[in-house]
Structure 1
């Protein structure tokens, strides 16, 4: 197969922004990259565009009208991946909301096949081990304490494909559960929690390396009781999820997290209504109304995920939070790759898989490539 040469006004690499730059793709992998004039006439040229790694969504529940908690999660996953790929996401996790152990076990087993096939990067359990007082859009009656047997049951059902588990460390057995989860090689993320600052620090010491949508569904920051957010953000070993949609966080907090010692990870937390019509949806057995760009529980008005896509998150971060484009892109690419231990994606580097996204001058998606194959972007 002959190589594909792509040139752009900017190419965002781990080390620098090449202005202008070029990338060569051969057999689905990045074979070379450089700055200045490309070595030959490019096959695709974007004189006003930015070439970046394909986006990686580490926390996503659905899109296009489908959810990973659907009765047929494997079929839903293929549709979800396709609609988010149009917006530049070439790697995604399957996040599952709280459900019965039986439902979660079946969903994990079905989705594990798609992880092994390369359709998904892994599975994220957002529940059932969450605080009932900070549950957000999770069914209270299905929440439970993290007993070793239930953790083993779900982790073994995943056959090594569960890459991340959100947990409230204040629950009985919470710190031991973090050690058990990380013992399986998964990321333990502090979230949906009422933990205070000291307990959050203990959770990090026990092995937690991430914060699930920091500031959302967790104990608030207070000048005498700083809570878990500060503990997570002041630690350079922690990855902090950010939902940059203008609904979950004020732009100043997006900027604050991006400038903190922790490494910002842009996520969508998207539910089925992302890339679909507004209206009423089901999220883990709870009724959600989507209107005016927001998803909220019908019962109490609580935020219930988002309808965000990662390209929109990058645009929001740049336009409204004042984050430099290269930093915003890295929060949607190499930082989530590092959080999840994905070594083949997230960077424009020789030898890595050729997952790329081209952003136009308006930061809208102009083109998407996955494993060296071009896909039609969203219209």
Structure 2
């Protein structure tokens, strides 16, 4: 019995929003590719954009699956990977957050085992992000991380995670002030791990020293800091005004007001800013009230996730594609620059080999079709 051929045809423009193309895809391969004049495109085709696939560098879960589940395995990770791929997210980094040492060690071990034993997963998950436990214990900067499990840096503990992950930890978010002499940070950098500043209340002087030793990232800028900060000497101004550091951003429309996003977009260069979803298991679930960590959270119809009956955020339930849409709307950046913040920028910063964006006859159709 002959296998039925899958055939798709698209007309639209490249991410530069100038070059118009007609593309035919059969069984996942580009079999025909022709340049066309943009003026002959229909109104619908004019709204079609061919773009690179995306990388989400901070994911806590989605579609009912939590990375913090002690029973996380290759089946659940594959389910997530395939779901994310339907949103144009070809690579993603699971985030292991502040928890008891044994639990964090176990989750690192289970994720790394799944990656190393499954070739499909290995294509989609380049490594692990540790967010905690070496963060500020103070209310505000600590965010939603449980205070009872925030800990002082320990090389012995780090070695456990390093061994459990089989070297798959790509980057660690920590607070510089819990490592005042930065000796712990220097050790991690020597181990080849990238470091990112987050959930902290470090002084400007300490931030300068941290950057001097090679820490060159800030995690979800504008979140995970104190509500009240100095009008001048504060970490947001420092990160925006320092070309040696790159910043991740949760541009879901809830974590940061639109005027803040616009200001950040004007201050940071395109190659120094990247978007993350920081999404949780509530992505893709129906609006309603859910139990989580002993509390009730509510997923609203607009996608906002908050503590039930309050305006306070309980995390993210948005995809990176949602964040791209919001960022394009409010940043003032061209779409090509917005896409870089979801692909080329984080992959280069984290040393991840990314799927090249090629539109050539005979190539696999590894690209995203967007509708403006």
Which category describes the TM-score, using the shorter chain as reference length?
0.7 to 0.9
| 1:8 CA displacement | 4.4
| 1:31 CA displacement | 11
Q: Check conservation: 1:63, 1:270, Cα contact below 8 A.
A: yes
Number of paired residues?
349
Q: Does 1:330 align with 2:340?
A: yes
| 1:294 CA displacement | 2.3
| Structure 2, unaligned runs of 5 or more | 38-43
Distance in 1 (CA, whole Å) between partners of 2:30 and 2:217 is 29
| 1:297 CA displacement | 4.2
Distance in 1 (CA, whole Å) between partners of 2:212 and 2:27 is 43
CA RMSD in angstroms comes to 3.3
| 1:329 CA displacement | 1.3
Q: Does 1:360 align with 2:371?
A: yes
Distance 1:352 1:157, change over 3 A: farther
Q: Check conservation: 1:136, 1:303, Cα contact below 8 A.
A: no
Q: Does 1:84 align with 2:84?
A: yes
Match in the other structure for 2:299: 291
Q: Check conservation: 2:282, 2:299, Cα contact below 8 A.
A: no
Correspondences of 1:93-242 after superposition (within 5 Å): 93-116=93-116, 117=119, 118=122, 119-133=124-138, 134-173=141-180, 175-219=182-226, 222=229, 224-242=231-249
| 1:37 CA displacement | 4.0
Distance in 2 (CA, whole Å) between partners of 1:28 and 1:122 is 27
| 1:107 CA displacement | 0.6
Distance in 1 (CA, whole Å) between partners of 2:135 and 2:311 is 19
Task: Give the strand-richer structure, 1 or 2.
Answer: 1
Distance 1:176 1:355, change over 3 A: farther
Distance in 2 (CA, whole Å) between partners of 1:72 and 1:150 is 21
Q: Give the alignment partner of residue 278 of structure 2, picking from 265, 269, 279.
A: 269
Where 1:91 maps in the other structure, the secondary structure is: strand
Where 1:171 maps in the other structure, the secondary structure is: helix
Q: Please give the per-residue CA displacement for 1:321-357, whole angstroms capped at 9, x wherever unaligned.
A: 4332222111111111112111233644889986321
Q: Give the alignment partner of residue 316 of structure 2, picking from 300, 303, 306.
A: 306
Q: Give the alignment partner of residue 350 of structure 2, picking from 334, 340, 360.
A: 340
| 1:94 CA displacement | 0.4
| 1:46 CA displacement | 5.3
* TM-score, length basis structure 2: 0.82
* TM-score, length basis structure 1: 0.81
| Structure 1, unaligned runs of 5 or more | 39-44, 362-379
Question: Which protein has the larger Cα radius of gyration, Structure 1 or Structure 2?
Answer: 2
Moved more, 260-269 or 286-295: 286-295
Match in the other structure for 1:9: 12
Match in the other structure for 2:41: none
Q: Give the alignment partner of residue 260 of structure 1, picking from 267, 270, 275.
A: 267
Task: Give the helix-richer structure, 1 or 2.
Answer: 2
Q: Please give the per-residue CA displacement for 1:266-309, whole angstroms capped at 9, x wherever unaligned.
A: 111101101112344566x4535023232234698642320111
